[in-house]
């Protein structure tokens, strides 16, 4: 089974990032407007993408401010039963660079090393490496860029503008 994995460094606290991925307000500001979600295990989060389509995720694990896990229950057929997770690791730029040499290029661009926080995003359990898989991999990169912008500047680039150039 193919899996999507992205690692990004965000210049914000783990708590701020965790709030952005677990609250209705945060999710609406970087992923898609109108989210209905509670950061509680076993609840169902609803993510509308326009008037006629939505995704639903069951919250599997919520460990502030380090881990969030979802299972997809509704959406495109290829998404059903896939698992998504956000792992958040703080510690500052130097500690992250020592633990994750692969992000050295991202660490070099941090202005405030104390705020450097790593997010490892996974979207696992895809049945095949299909055109939908490829498009979602790319679009997750765009949405994760939106998460980074939201946490660092207060303004993300959520649906339907995720593919537009940021100012």
Phi first, then psi, for residue 33 (nearest 5°) are: -65, 150
Instruction: Tell me 139's DSSP state.
Output: H
**127 close to 78: Cβ distance less than 8 angstroms:** yes
DSSP strand pairing (44-48 vs 116-124):
unpaired
Instruction: Give the pLDDT band of residue 36 (cuts 50, 70, 90).
Output: very high
Burial 8-23 (b: 16+ CB within 10 A, else e): bbbbbbbebbbbbbbe
Please report the pLDDT score of residue 131 as a whole number. 97
> Residue holding tokens 């997010």?
119
d(CA 91, CA 144): 20
> Of 86, 78, 84, whose CA–CA distance to 126 is shortest?
78
Q: Give mean pLDDT, residues 102-130.
A: 95
Rg (CA), the chain: 15
Q: Is the pTM of this model over 0.75?
A: yes
Instruction: Give the pLDDT band of residue 161 (cuts 50, 70, 90).
Output: confident
Q: Give mean pLDDT, residues 19-42.
A: 98
Q: Collapse the DSSP code of 16 into the 3-class scheme (helix H, G, I; strand E, B; otherwise coil) and give the result.
A: helix
d(CA 141, CA 7): 10
Give the tokens for residue 83.
């698992």
Please report the pLDDT score of residue 164 as a whole number. 86
User: What percent of the chain has a predicted confidence (pLDDT) above 70?
Assistant: 99
Please give the domain boundaries of the chain with CATH numbers for all domains: 4-153 (3.30.530.20)
Average the pLDDT over each of 11-20, 101-110, 146-155 and give the range with the smallest value: 101-110
Q: Give mean pLDDT, residues 35-56.
A: 97
Q: Could you report the per-residue pLDDT of 92-101, keeping only the tens digit for each? A: 999 999 999 9
Strands of the sheet with 83-89, listed across from one edge: 4-11, 116-124, 83-89, 67-74, 54-63, 44-48
Please report the pLDDT score of residue 145 as a whole number. 97
DSSP strand pairing (116-124 vs 4-11):
antiparallel
């Amino acid at each position: 089974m193919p899996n999507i994995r992205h690692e990004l460094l965000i210049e914000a606290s783990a708590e701020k990032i965790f709030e952005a991925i677990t609250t209705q307000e945060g999710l609406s500001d970087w992923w898609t407007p109108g989210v209905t979600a509670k950061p509680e295990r076993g609840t169902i989060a609803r993510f509308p993408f326009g008037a006629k389509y939505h995704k639903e995720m069951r919250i599997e694990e919520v460990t502030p401010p380090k881990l969030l896990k979802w299972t997809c229950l509704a959406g495109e057929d290829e998404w059903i039963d896939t698992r998504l997770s956000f792992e958040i690791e703080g510690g500052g730029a130097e500690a992250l660079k020592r633990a994750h040499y692969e992000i050295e290029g991202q660490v070099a661009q941090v202005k405030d090393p104390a705020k450097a926080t790593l997010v490892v995003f996974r979207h696992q359990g895809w049945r095949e490496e299909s055109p939908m898989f490829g498009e979602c991999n790319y679009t997750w990169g765009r949405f994760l860029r939106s998460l980074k912008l939201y946490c660092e500047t207060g303004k993300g680039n959520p649906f339907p503008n995720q593919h537009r150039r940021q100012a």
